[in-house]
């Protein structure tokens, strides 16, 4: 009888531990990503390019990651022929950005227990942050002089800087797929997202023309679609709600 009682206690303890493990999450994460984006600046024609990112994440909760991220890529616009730009303006910016951002997933604010639909949408997120972008156009990456006489004197030199640093604010949204490990904690994530970043300055395309002569009526912006992978590690922390749905 004592053996059966002992077996029952062990099974009950194992079941309780299994259930409790669904409330836990890892405190830290590290990952990388791929992106595909383009600029929204003073040049009408834009060319999209691939990019990448690296990040270190502090998981404030399973649904509120706070990340320090390095982003890098290329923003290209204009062209040296009149069909691409009337003045022959062209720039190719090989940028790097350092961004601190936080995302909040719906699971942080909704009660998704016992609801298949709410469990499915709990990983949608929206976020923002602040950062700095370093713009770099070297050598033949930018056209400063007006190439076409019929659109103005070819002695005109377009003002701006080939290299600059601008503050930026990203607006982020997307969905995170959570992959659970043997401890029923989120060991890995795959994220599909979109980021639209506003910059404080005219550095993305290198042009800073008089708005009465050329299109220059809004801050430079850039946008990208992202695919990210993150590995979670570190201390195990308990959350107030069940993170994994065992049903």
The values of phi and psi at residue 242, to 5°, are -70, 120
Compare 91 and 83 and report the one with higher pLDDT: 91
162 neighbors 209 (Cβ within 8 angstroms)? no
Mean local confidence (pLDDT), 134-139: 94
164 neighbors 199 (Cβ within 8 angstroms)? no
Flag whether pLDDT at 48 surpasses 90: yes
Delineate the domains of the chain, giving CATH numbers in brackets.
Answer: 2-238 (2.40.160.20)
Rounded CA separation 127/170 (Å): 8
**CA angle at 114 for the pair 109 and 115, rounded to the nearest 5°:** 70
Q: Report which of 183, 196, 187, 64 is spatially closest to residue 123, judged by C-alpha positions.
A: 64
Note the pTM of the prediction, 2 decimals.
Answer: 0.85
Tens-digit pLDDT profile for residues 180-237: 999 999 999 999 999 999 999 999 999 987 776 666 667 899 999 999 999 999 999 9
Flag whether pLDDT at 18 surpasses 70: no
Neighbours of 243 (CB within 10 A): 21
């Amino acid at each position: 009888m004592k053996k059966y009682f002992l077996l029952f206690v062990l099974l009950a303890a194992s079941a309780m531990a299994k259930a409790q493990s669904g409330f836990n999450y890892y405190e830290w994460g590290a990952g990388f990503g791929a992106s595909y984006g383009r600029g929204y600046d003073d040049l009408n024609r834009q060319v999209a390019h691939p990019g990448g990112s690296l990040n270190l994440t502090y998981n404030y909760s399973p649904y509120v990651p706070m990340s320090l991220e390095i982003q890098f890529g290329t923003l290209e616009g204009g062209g040296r022929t009149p069909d691409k730009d009337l003045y022959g303006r062209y720039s190719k910016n090989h940028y790097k950005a350092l961004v601190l951002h936080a995302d909040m997933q719906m699971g942080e604010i909704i009660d998704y227990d016992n609801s298949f639909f709410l469990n499915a949408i709990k990983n949608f997120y929206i976020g923002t942050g602040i950062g700095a972008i370093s713009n770099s156009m070297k050598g033949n990456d930018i056209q400063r002089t007006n190439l076409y006489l019929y659109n103005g004197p070819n002695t005109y030199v377009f003002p701006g800087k080939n290299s600059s640093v601008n503050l930026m604010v990203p607006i982020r949204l997307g969905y995170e797929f959570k992959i659970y490990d043997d401890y029923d904690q989120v060991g890995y994530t795959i994220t599909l997202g979109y980021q639209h970043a506003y910059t404080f300055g005219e550095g993305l395309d290198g042009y800073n023309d008089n708005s009465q002569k050329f299109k220059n009526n809004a801050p430079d912006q850039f946008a990208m679609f992202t695919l990210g992978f993150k590995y979670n590690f570190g201390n195990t922390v308990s959350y107030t709600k069940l993170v994994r749905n065992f049903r």
